[in-house]
Amino acid sequence: MTDPPFDLAARLGALLFVSGEPVERAELIDHLGCNETELDAALATLRERGLGLGLVLIEHSGAYQLATAPSLAELVEAFLGLDRPARLSAAALETLAIVAYRQPVTRAEIEAIRGVDSSAALQTLIARGLVEPVGRLPTVGQPIQYGTTVQFLQAFGLASLEELPELPPEISERLLDADAR
Amino acid sequence: MPVDIRSARLADCLITIEGFSGPLDLLLRLVEERRLPVTELSLVEVTDQFLAHLASLEDAPLELVADFTVVAARLIALKARALLPRPAEPEVPGEPEPDDLIRQLQLYQAFREAAQELRLRELRGRRAYVRPPISPPSPARVKVIARDPASLLTALRRWHRRVEPRPVTLRLPPAISLRAMARRLLARLRGGARTFRELVGRKADRRELAAGFLALLVLIRRGAVQAEQEVPFGEIMVIPRVRPWREAAADD
């Protein structure tokens, strides 16, 4: 039996299938011997084909990973005998929302919005692997900036941060204003 | 807060100071309407003239004094406000300004709603699962598999030889029975009294010493020997009693 010729999307799929972790664009380009545009096209093709396998393509800060379709979660959990993780507290969820929309964001910035100390909520999110330090603000004290993880996308069944529900327009504008300042 | 002075009593109190001449209630009205600069008023003079007016009255009603107090307080407040430098903005450091506070609350409300969206997703449990990475087989593992299956048996035998327990010889000095020791002591006492040391032998080890001492105690109890010790821990002199030939005594 001879193998059918595999296109770029198929080869990309093989790499993402065996990799348990998100694979960086640069690494994919290196191993597949393609350019950025070709990779984007292959990713789009794979995204479509994945649905036929019950899989989605997750994108997190320029890295890609295959995961089961969020709507199949119940089936997968029953099959693997998984327990649902405990629900997040309201404080943790608010903090997570702020990190998700405002990332990278410092603890002080989170607390400015919430108006209360948020270190415990932040620690919970870090412990659950939903939030991680992503850098430091180049100001006095170099405060740590936080961002969401690929596990956050998995946990909430998001293919990428772009799938986050949109904020009301007046709020987005205000956030842009705040960024400009 | 304008003070409504409708008291006719104050209208009777005429005040004449620099820049003003008239009843006291008019003075207050003019000041409040900013037609008279309060900063240029001498409140001391106003007060002095009121007190003089008060003294001229035969029966000063309490209400008049009360009215004056209200007017004077008002004038002082107005003058103080005019004289004291005021900050450009009523600002408390650290506190967000009202406008900022509203904006912050709006922002916070927006994120509360966003958090609700996330909660819905959490509740729907639409989690995406990923597979663990596949670790490539190591070259060493490949080498083992390539071997002859018989080598497993060889390895097992080698292992067995290595872990097989070796026989261990346990060397214990012969134990001396109490009876034998008692006989030995009696035999050595045939020549007469001897020290305990001599009886057990100079080279006796702890076990022999212990057995010898026990045998001595037995012999003493049986009345076969007598023992004397001059000082604690000193030499024990063992003296055979009569009928030392009754060696069988220890055999009972």
d(CA A65, CA A56): 8
> Are A51 and A133 in a shared domain?
no
Of B16, B48, B83, the position where a domain reaches its end is B83
Beta bridge partners of B15: B22
The domain boundary residue, chosen from B37, B63, B83 = B83
Contacts of B133 in chain A (CB under 8 A): 18-21
Question: CB neighbours of B16 closer than 8 A, spacing ≥ 6?
Answer: B49
Residues A100, A176 within the same domain = yes
pLDDT digits (tens, 9 = 90+) for B18-51: 777 888 777 777 777 777 777 777 888 888 888 8
Q: Residue B112: its chain A contacts at CB < 8 A?
A: 94, 97
Q: According to the model, what pLDDT value does residue B94 have?
A: 55
Contacts of B127 in chain A (CB under 8 A): 70, 73, 77, 154-157
For the stretch B140-169, pLDDT in tens is 555 555 567 787 788 888 888 887 777 777
Going by pLDDT thresholds of 50, 70 and 90, the confidence category of residue B13 is: confident
Tokens 């939030």 -> residue: A131
Q: Which among B99, B105, B107 is the top mutation candidate for probing chain A, defined by the most A β-carbons within 10 Å of its own β-carbon?
A: B107
Interface with A, mutate which of B130, B131, B134, B135 (most A CBs under 10 A) = B130
Pair A60, A125 in one domain: no
CA distance B15 to B30: 13
Kindly give the interhelix angle for A8-18 and A36-51, rounded to the nearest 10 degrees. 70
Domain boundary among the residues A39, A56, A78 is at A78
CA distance B11 to B26: 8
- Residue B112 falls within a domain, yes or no? no
Task: Indicate whether A48 and A94 sit together in one domain.
Answer: no
Q: Does residue A104 have a cis peptide bond before it, meaning omega lies within 30 degrees of 0?
A: yes
Same domain, A95 and A173: yes
User: Considering the domain boundaries, does residue B219 fall inside one?
Assistant: yes
Token readout for A96 is 């997570």
Could you tell me the pTM of the whole model? Answer: 0.47
Q: B114 pLDDT exceeds 80?
A: yes
* Nearest CA distance, A179 vs chain B (angstrom): 14
Residue B115, chain A, CB below 8 Å: the answer is: yes
Q: Are residues A69 and A103 located together in one domain of the fold?
A: no
- Collect all residues of chain A within an 8 Å Cβ-Cβ radius of residue B129: 67-68, 73, 76, 80, 154
**Distance in angstroms (rounded) separating the CA atoms of residues B136 and A158:** 30
CB contact under 8 A, B110 and A156: no
Cα–Cα distances in angstroms (integers) from residue B146 to residues B138, B141, B142, B150, B151, in the given order: 13, 9, 6, 12, 11
Q: Which two tokens stand for residue B128?
A: 């995406």
Question: Closest residue of B to A69, CA-based?
Answer: B128
Residues 6+ away with beta carbon under 8 Å from A62: A24, A25
Structural contact between residues A137 and A145, judged by C-beta atoms closer than 8 angstroms? yes
Q: Which of B112, B118, B119, B121 is most worth mutating to test chain A (most A CB atoms within 10 A of its CB)?
A: B118
Chain B residues near residue A167 by CB distance under 8 angstroms: 110, 114
Name the one residue in this structure whose structure tokens are 């702020």.
A98
Q: Which domain holds residue A32?
A: 8-78
Nearest to B212 by CA among B224, B198, B223, B226: B198
Q: How many domains does chain A have?
A: 2
**Which residues, listed in sequence order, are joined to residue A146 by a DSSP beta bridge?**
A105, A133
Digit-coded pLDDT (tens) for A41-62 = 999 999 999 999 999 999 998 8
- pLDDT surpassing 50 at residue B129: yes
Out of B31, B55, B83, a domain closes at B83
- Of A53, A78, A103, which one is at a domain's C-terminal end? A78
Smallest Cα–Cα separation from A116: which of B190, B185, B108? B108
Q: Which residues of chain A have pLDDT under 50?
A: none
% chain B with pLDDT above 70: 81
Question: Residues B36, B27: contact at Cβ < 8 Å?
Answer: yes
Within 10 angstroms of residue A132's Cβ, the number of other Cβ atoms is: 16
Over range B100-115, report the average pLDDT.
79
- Please tell me whether residues A47 and A106 are part of one structural domain: no
Q: Write down the ipTM of this complex.
A: 0.75
Q: Which residues pair with A55 in a beta bridge?
A: A68
Please indicate whether residue B188 or residue B92 has the higher confidence score (pLDDT): B188
- The phi and psi torsions of B142 (rounded to 5 degrees) equal -60, -40
Q: Are residues A21 and A56 in the same domain?
A: yes
DSSP designation for A115: S
The CA angle B28-B32-B37, to the nearest 5 degrees, is 90
Say if residue B236 is exposed, middle or buried (CB neighbours under 10 Å; 0-12, 13-18, 19+).
middle
Q: Identify the burial level of B204 via C-beta atoms within 10 angstroms of its C-beta, where 0-12 means exposed, 13-18 middle and 19 or more buried.
A: middle
Quick one: average pLDDT of B83-109? Answer: 65
Could you tell me how far CA A150 lies from the centroid of its own chain? 4
Is B189 contained in some domain?
A: yes
- CATH number, domain with residue A12: 1.10.10.10
Q: Token pair for residue B23?
A: 């009843």
Report helix angle A25-32 to A8-18, nearest 10: 120
Interface contact B115-A67, CB threshold 8 A: no
Select the residue of B112, B118, B131 nearest A156 (Cβ to Cβ): B118
Residue A2 included in any domain: no
Domain residue limits at B240 = 178-251
| Domain end position, chosen among A78, A108, A129 | A78
